[in-house]
Amino acid sequence: MKKILVTGASGQLGQCLKHVSHRYQEFEFTFATSEDLDLSQFAVVRAYMARNEFDYCINCAAYTKVEQAEKEQEMAYLINAEAVKNLAQTCHENDCTLVHFSTDYVYDGKKHSAYSEEDETEPLNVYGASKLLGEQYIVEHLEKYFIFRVSWLYSDVGKNFFNTIRSKAEQEEDLKIVASQTGTPTNAYDLAEFVLEIISRGSTDYGTYNYSNLGEASWYDFAAEILKHCEKKGSLEKSEDFPTLATRPEYSVLDKQKAMDTFKVPIPEWKESLKTLF
């Protein structure tokens, strides 16, 4: 029976993986929260990995506060880069395949067509830069890895744009949302299924892949679509500018052709997938 470690298990993606994991009885899962396994404790991680002999590590741990990262640069780099380097080295030593997640914020968003994995990376903010360095460490230290660059992850668990808009709607708050950034919302349950499906097929097509739902939207479009499904809501207005510390890419739609050709796992369209959460 393949042994799978899920780190950062109390986060959004970690919880979604746990939710879908019951469909994969062929695996023995260990869900480790930050309290169970703090990835910044390098020696502890090394000892833990050596002791447990996992076949896969799905790393859901990350520093994801995009705004805060501008002020807490060191912390962002520690978790998103240095801890990932340690994990990659540890996976290498223990013949463990690493599944890791990166972000559309590694791109600068100046293109007007979907970003492929081969496009140049040029992060605009600290979070994106720290995630890119994490990717580079994996590529440098490990052969058996899957890196998925994902955009606009949401679900009904954890802190994300979907939950923010839903709770503001519940309070009948009037919303002003930027229409100047375009990307693709990604249902975290779809990503969780996608990853477990790839593992269950025993794929050895290691490498870096883009993944999101299909289609594209601005944050305003995403909010509008969420509100369609909410009974209570205030007004919704497009805003040109929502003041933020971190600069975000104007356009970060991801080209999924490589993932679709390689894994042949169907990817849902974003609006269809959103419906499943209501």
Ligand X SMILES: NC(=O)C1=CN([C@@H]2O[C@H](COP(=O)(O)OP(=O)(O)OC[C@H]3O[C@@H](n4cnc5c(N)ncnc54)[C@H](OP(=O)(O)O)[C@@H]3O)[C@@H](O)[C@H]2O)C=CC1
Ligand Y SMILES: Cc1cn([C@H]2C[C@H](O)[C@@H](COP(=O)(O)OP(=O)(O)O[C@H]3O[C@@H](C)C(=O)[C@@H](O)[C@H]3O)O2)c(=O)[nH]c1=O
The residues of the shown chain that bind ligand X, judged by CB under 6 A, are 7-8, 10-14, 34, 38-40, 60-62, 64, 79, 83, 101, 103, 131, 150-153, 158, 160
Phi/psi of residue 30, nearest 5 degrees: -120, 120
Nearer to ligand Y, 3 or 234 (CB): 234
Nearer to ligand X, 164 or 239 (CB): 164
Given ligand X, ligand Y, none, residue 195, with its beta carbon under 5 to 8 Å by kind, binds: none
Q: Does 152 bind ligand Y (CB under 6 A)?
A: yes
Q: Does 216 bind ligand Y (CB under 6 A)?
A: no
Number of other residues whose CB lies within 10 A of the CB of residue 223: 26
Nearer to ligand X, 202 or 222 (CB): 222
Binding mask 36-75 for ligand Y (x = CB under 6 A): ----------------------------x-x---------
Q: Do the beta carbons of residue 142 and residue 88 sit within 8 Å?
A: yes
**Contact region for ligand Y (CB under 6 A) — 15-23, 42-50, 115-123, 236-244?**
236-244
**Considering the complex, what minimum distance in angstroms separates the CB of residue 278 from ligand X?**
20
Given ligand X, ligand Y, none, residue 10, with its beta carbon under 5 to 8 Å by kind, binds: ligand X
Please name the residues in contact with 229: beta carbons below 8 A apart, sequence gap of 6 or more.
274, 275, 278
What is the token pair recorded at 124?
A: 């605009």
**Contact region for ligand Y (CB under 6 A) — 17-25, 73-81, 97-105, 109-117?**
97-105
Q: Which of 12, 80, 86, 181 is close enough to bind ligand Y by CB under 6 A?
A: 181
Nearer to ligand X, 117 or 234 (CB): 117
Torsion sign (Cα): 35, 8, 95, 102 = negative
Torsion sign (Cα): 230, 180, 187, 88 = negative
Q: Do the beta carbons of residue 7 and residue 180 sit within 8 Å?
A: no
Q: Which of 84, 178, 217, 254 is close enough to bind ligand Y by CB under 6 A?
A: 178
Nearer to ligand Y, 65 or 258 (CB): 65
Q: Where are the alpha helices (DSSP H) in the chain?
A: 12-21, 42-52, 66-69, 73-77, 83-93, 126-141, 161-170, 188-200, 219-228, 257-263, 270-275
SS3 label, residue 240: coil
Q: Please name the helix (run of DSSP H) or strand (run of DSSP E) that holds residue 187, with its range, or none.
A: strand 186-187
What is the token pair recorded at 191?
A: 């990503």
**Considering the complex, what minimum distance in angstroms separates the CB of residue 97 from ligand Y?**
23
């944050």: which residue's tokens?
A: 219
Q: Does 187 bind ligand Y (CB under 6 A)?
A: no
CB-side neighbour CA atoms (13 Å) of 252: 29
Q: Does 16 bind ligand Y (CB under 6 A)?
A: no
Binding site for ligand Y (CB under 6 A): 64, 66, 103-105, 151-153, 161, 164, 175-178, 181, 219, 239, 242, 244, 248
